[in-house]
Structure 1
Amino acid sequence: MSNVPGFDALENVGIAERDKPPFVRLPKPETLFGLRAMRFAALAPGHQLEAYLAFLAELSKMQDRVVHELPSPALPPLTEMRQRAGHAMPILPREGLADEPAASESLARLTTLLADVAMPDLARAALERARNATGEERQAMFAAVLADAVPVETVAEHIFAAAALQVVAARRAAQLNPLLPQPVAHGVCPCCGGPPVTSTVVGDANIEGVRYVQCSLCAAQWNHVRVKCVSCGSTKGIAYQAIEGIADTIKAETCDECRTYVKILEQRKDMELEPVADDVASLGLDLLVTEAGWRRAGVNPFLLGY
């Protein structure tokens, strides 16, 4: 018997189950942020948000460095994780990250690394506030990010707090056995309980055409059938909105039942698409869809100010 979380589930998987697309695809933090940085950098030149995308490329680079410099965060006891899985609850509830020492260490290292990165004066001031925050102030920032309740007047420093949390959450989720997480509520990550950022129709050879929703916090992806609302699970009134004259690799899947939308990225048409970076770069689509009366269900900490 193995001590790997979820090993019991592995033993009970039959041949037919092995042929199905995996329910969860765990993040690979050792490459996640580096690839994201490359995508931000590729999207920046000539874009209306060029300066911001270039800054996010540098931020993602520093997230990548933190991944490789700090030790992996510890997981809860195996019995606790199995119990949560058995009750269809997120395995690693995100709320606990607010007072997790690894989160504070991640923010401290990230803000130190960013000190040498060029940025506007307002961003620099926000960085200094995050860097000099007390332990209690850091916990408050983390709690606000995790509760999706960031004050409008302090969005800038919370972006750095969110980036630090992404590193820790991804590294925790990466340690799970992929068979352990089970479906929970609509629009909720089975690994950490975070909200989605976008969804992707993947182009990978073995699972081409399968749709996965990506968590905005830990970057785990979970299988979600197409033409079905990520927020409420309805299959009624689903439509796809895109900007005319622009490649239809990114659309907004709108739901008339709950009046929300989540973007869907077509990696079958463009394998370079990245769930977080391309979400920011397609902000124009958000503006059009929200003006038409739908509410964004995807959460992206790098779009908090928009």
Structure 2
Amino acid sequence: MSRNIPVKGDITAIGEVRTPPVARVPDPAALFDRRARRFRALSGPDGIGPYLSFLADIAEAQHQLASELGEPEALEPAGVERALAYGMPPLDRNAFAPDDAFMSLSERLFGALEPIAKPDAAQEALTTIRSAAPSDIAAMVADLMADSVPVEYMAHYAYVAAALQLHFVRQASTLPEKQLKHVGDGACPACGGPPVSSVIVNWPQANGSRFCSCALCATLWHHVRIKCAICSSTKGIRYQEIEDGPGSIKAETCDECGCYVKIFNQQKDASLDPFADDVASLGIDLLMKDTNFRRGSFNPFLLGY
């Protein structure tokens, strides 16, 4: 059972700071370390616990590589300035094509994932990916960038998605945070990608403000509360949650576009992670399957839901 909580009135200015930052770029090593720790804390022997443990191992490998690689080379300043001037994301995910550097990074990550415990099917998928031609990897990258992945190959795409996350998180970390601007509804100001979820933060300078988290580069961008994270409508916004749940995890539904995006309240639970808890709160997605709303966010590790 769920609770459906309607919202009335214009209360989009919720939060202790009226002008929170437009965006926050990620710290790669810290991001993947936090994500790995959260996946590990959420894992266990039952339900999706073993899967969360597997994802913790992937995040730990991402963290290790991010630490070893250090700071990436900054993007060409003129290109960044031009994109910002035209209201475009500096990291153009749609124009990204795997180059030698990305393929090398991917192979290092895939190699680090060989020894981790995984189901036979996941190991077979990893073996297949490591022997795939560059053109096949490029095709999979294009599918992931279009948020269009064949569910039957979810395991294969998950590995490529992990490599893309590592690459784009590192690239996003070099961007001029204070110069980033909103680029459109439901779009990351750094790479233009969709959100994985949103969080109500407990930061000292923005306590109570809501930020969307990019599914690809993990950049956070400010998005006022009681406003659809996908189409930005403030009409027909409601919240659904699992009955008798903690009250810190909800699905924000929008009557205008028919989408829902999860919202995590770090004021109530500071340990919540916008990516790890999106997977761990699969129960919300199963609940929403019985409604007319569709998932508006994207998570490569929740394909099919």
TM-score normalised over the length of structure 1: 0.91
Give the 5 Å matches for 1:133-212.
133-212=132-211
- Which AA in structure 1 matches 2:121? L
SS in 1 for 2:288: helix
- Which AA in structure 2 matches 1:235? T
Q: How big is each residue's C-alpha offset from its partner over 1:107-137, in whole Å with a ceiling of 9 and x where there is no partner?
A: 1011101111110000000011111112222
In 2, distance between residues paired with 1:40 and 1:62?
13
SS in 2 for 1:98: coil
Q: Would the aligned equivalents of 2:72 and 2:171 in 1 still touch at CA under 8 Å?
A: yes
SS in 2 for 1:39: helix
Q: Would the aligned equivalents of 2:32 and 2:63 in 1 still touch at CA under 8 Å?
A: yes
Counterpart of 2:277 in structure 1 is: 278
SS in 2 for 1:207: coil
In 2, distance between residues paired with 1:192 and 1:72?
18
- State the 1:293 CA deviation: 1.0
- State the 1:72 CA deviation: 4.6
In 2, distance between residues paired with 1:75 and 1:192?
15
In 1, distance between residues paired with 2:140 and 2:91?
19
In 2, distance between residues paired with 1:71 and 1:168?
12
Counterpart of 1:113 in structure 2 is: 112
CA RMSD of aligned residues (A): 1.5
Counterpart of 1:239 in structure 2 is: 238
Counterpart of 1:20 in structure 2 is: 19
Counterpart of 2:12 in structure 1 is: none
In 1, distance between residues paired with 2:303 and 2:101?
23
- Which AA in structure 2 matches 1:206? Q
Counterpart of 1:81 in structure 2 is: 80
Identify, as 1 or 2, the structure richer in helix: 1
- Which AA in structure 1 matches 2:93? R
- List runs of 5+ in structure 2 lacking aligned partners: 1-16
- State the 1:71 CA deviation: 5.8
Q: Would the aligned equivalents of 2:168 and 2:217 in 1 still touch at CA under 8 Å?
A: yes
CA spacing shift, 1:139–1:74, aligned 2, 3 Å: farther
- State the 1:153 CA deviation: 2.3
Q: Would the aligned equivalents of 1:67 and 1:167 in 2 still touch at CA under 8 Å?
A: yes
SS in 2 for 1:158: helix
SS in 1 for 2:96: helix
- Which AA in structure 1 matches 2:263? I
- List runs of 5+ in structure 1 lacking aligned partners: 1-17
Counterpart of 1:223 in structure 2 is: 222
In 2, distance between residues paired with 1:32 and 1:133?
29
- State the 1:149 CA deviation: 1.7
- State the 1:291 CA deviation: 1.6
- State the 1:94 CA deviation: 1.1
- State the 1:46 CA deviation: 5.2
SS in 1 for 2:179: coil
CA spacing shift, 1:263–1:233, aligned 2, 3 Å: same
> RCO higher in 1 or 2 (8 Å CA, sep ≥ 6)?
2
Counterpart of 2:249 in structure 1 is: 250
Q: How big is each residue's C-alpha offset from its partner over 1:215-234, in whole Å with a ceiling of 9 and x where there is no partner?
A: 00000000000000011111
Counterpart of 1:268 in structure 2 is: 267
- Which AA in structure 1 matches 2:262? K
In 2, distance between residues paired with 1:181 and 1:232?
20
- State the 1:70 CA deviation: 3.1
Q: How big is each residue's C-alpha offset from its partner over 1:7-64, in whole Å with a ceiling of 9 and x where there is no partner?
A: xxxxxxxxxxx98311101111021111111100100125520110010000100111
Counterpart of 2:301 in structure 1 is: 302
- State the 1:292 CA deviation: 0.8
Q: Would the aligned equivalents of 1:106 and 1:165 in 2 still touch at CA under 8 Å?
A: no
- State the 1:305 CA deviation: 4.1
Q: Report the number of matched residues.
A: 289
Q: Would the aligned equivalents of 1:73 and 1:168 in 2 still touch at CA under 8 Å?
A: no
Counterpart of 2:52 in structure 1 is: 53
- Which AA in structure 1 matches 2:69? L
- Which AA in structure 2 matches 1:208? N
- State the 1:103 CA deviation: 2.3
- State the 1:246 CA deviation: 1.2
Q: Would the aligned equivalents of 1:199 and 1:213 in 2 still touch at CA under 8 Å?
A: yes
In 2, distance between residues paired with 1:173 and 1:276?
17
Counterpart of 1:7 in structure 2 is: none
- State the 1:148 CA deviation: 1.1
Instruction: State the identity %.
Output: 45
Counterpart of 1:42 in structure 2 is: 41
